[in-house]
């Protein structure tokens, strides 16, 4: 009897979006301490792109999909059968761009009550990264001028809402008019197209000649150096991502001249230290509508290769979700 098969997005080796293809694979079985999920939705996260590019640890053949949701349909030895039939979130195990995924029980958590499938799939990584960037790492205060890169991205949009709650003035840096229009309903005070080389001059102008007290940058790359022009004396530049790649070396003499602080926030590192300290608050903020999660579109599993290409061209806005099994 032939083995049952499933759809899966696979990269056989690191490379560009063209290495991804949709194929059929045998449905896997969970090993000891593992569960199998029938996947509902998957989030497109930057780490999925990094893993496909070879910039993030991963084994090949690789099926992306670090963050996804579904229903437990089979358990391995040592796992309580009460997990069967439960809606869960899987984070960190990967493999979500397939009809079925396997993950250690330690990588799954009960699906949050009160959220729909799509919001529930993506909210935690977005809100935790945004909250700990703005509050734990940057320590934004009332009256601060805060410039946020990727202001039309999912984390940038939630950081905007958090910084506004704290009483800051927010300058959203967005890649073009379409992205500015997408970000505008989420409450930033000012919008700048960061594709223009002179965007730091606009930050200086909007802050009355002072510069931004805090700049939060999830891009890095060659554009990182522009932050030094836009930051206020004694300001903080926070790196919390590197979607544009490695940036130039930090010029020590410039840091001294403006008394600039440079820091970083990585939630995969910080999360285990905090041990879920703020999880209940983050969920409540989304469940009550205090923070809005920007889901811009839903694509089919077969569209994942094209979606990776669009992400690399910086054409996506908000968070894109991938429909695998849909609302199970």
How do residues 170-186 score in pLDDT, each as one tens digit?
999 999 999 999 999 99
Question: Is the backbone of residue 15 left (phi > 0), alpha (psi -120 to 50) or beta?
Answer: left
pLDDT score for 93: 79
Confidence category of residue 222, pLDDT binned at 50, 70, 90: confident
Domains parsed from the chain with CATH numbers: 5-122+293-323 (3.90.180.10), 139-264 (3.40.50.720)
Residue percentage of the chain with pLDDT more than 90 = 84
Res. 23: pLDDT tops 80: yes
Q: Is the pLDDT of residue 8 over 80?
A: yes
Q: What are phi and psi of 148, to 5 degrees?
A: -120, 115
* pLDDT score at 304: 98
pLDDT tens track for 48-101: 999 999 987 778 999 999 999 999 999 999 999 999 999 999 988 789 999 999
The per-residue pLDDT of the chain, averaged, comes to: 94
Q: What mean pLDDT comes out for the span 242-247?
A: 76
Q: What is the pLDDT of residues 277-295, one digit of tens each?
A: 899 999 999 999 999 999 9
Q: pLDDT tens-digit profile of 31-41?
A: 999 999 999 99
- Dihedral sign, Cα of residue 103, residue 107, residue 109, residue 111: negative
150-206: pLDDT as tens digits? 999 999 999 999 999 999 999 999 999 999 999 999 999 999 999 999 999 999 999
Tell whether the model's pLDDT for residue 245 goes beyond 80. Answer: no
CA dist 281 and 53 (Å) reads 35
Residue 122 has pLDDT above 80, yes or no: yes
End-to-end CA distance of the chain: 28
């Amino acid at each position: 009897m032939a083995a049952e098969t499933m759809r899966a997005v696979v990269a056989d080796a690191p490379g560009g979006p063209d290495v991804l293809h949709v194929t059929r694979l045998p449905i896997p079985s969970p090993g000891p301490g593992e569960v199998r999920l029938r996947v509902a939705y998957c989030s497109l996260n930057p780490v999925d792109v990094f893993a496909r590019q070879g910039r993030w640890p991963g084994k090949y053949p690789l099926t992306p999909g670090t963050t996804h949701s579904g229903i437990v349909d089979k358990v391995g030895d040592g796992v309580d059968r009460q997990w069967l039939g439960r809606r869960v979130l899987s984070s960190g195990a990967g493999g979500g761009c397939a009809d079925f995924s396997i993950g250690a029980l330690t990588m799954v958590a009960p699906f949050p009550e009160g959220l729909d499938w799509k919001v529930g799939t993506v909210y935690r990584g977005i809100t935790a990264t945004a909250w700990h960037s703005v509050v734990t790492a940057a320590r934004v205060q009332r009256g601060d001028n805060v410039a946020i890169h990727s202001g039309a991205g999912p984390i940038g949009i939630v950081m905007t809402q958090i910084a506004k709650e704290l009483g800051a003035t927010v300058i959203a840096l967005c890649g073009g008019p379409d992205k500015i229009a997408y970000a505008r309903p989420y409450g930033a005070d000012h919008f700048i197209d960061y594709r223009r080389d002179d965007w730091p001059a606009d930050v200086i102008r909007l802050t009355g000649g002072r510069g931004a007290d805090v700049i939060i940058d999830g891009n890095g790359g060659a554009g990182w150096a522009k932050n030094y022009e836009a930051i206020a004396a004694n300001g903080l530049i926070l790196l919390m991502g590197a979607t544009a790649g490695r940036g130039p070396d930090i010029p020590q003499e410039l840091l001294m001249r403006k008394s600039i602080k440079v820091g970083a926030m990585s939630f995969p590192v910080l999360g285990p230290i905090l041990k879920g300290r703020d999880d209940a608050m983050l969920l409540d903020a989304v469940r009550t509508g205090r923070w809005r999660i920007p889901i811009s579109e839903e694509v089919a599993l077969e569209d994942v290769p094209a979606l990776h290409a669009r992400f690399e061209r910086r054409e996506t806005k908000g968070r894109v979700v991938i429909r695998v099994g849909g609302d199970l």
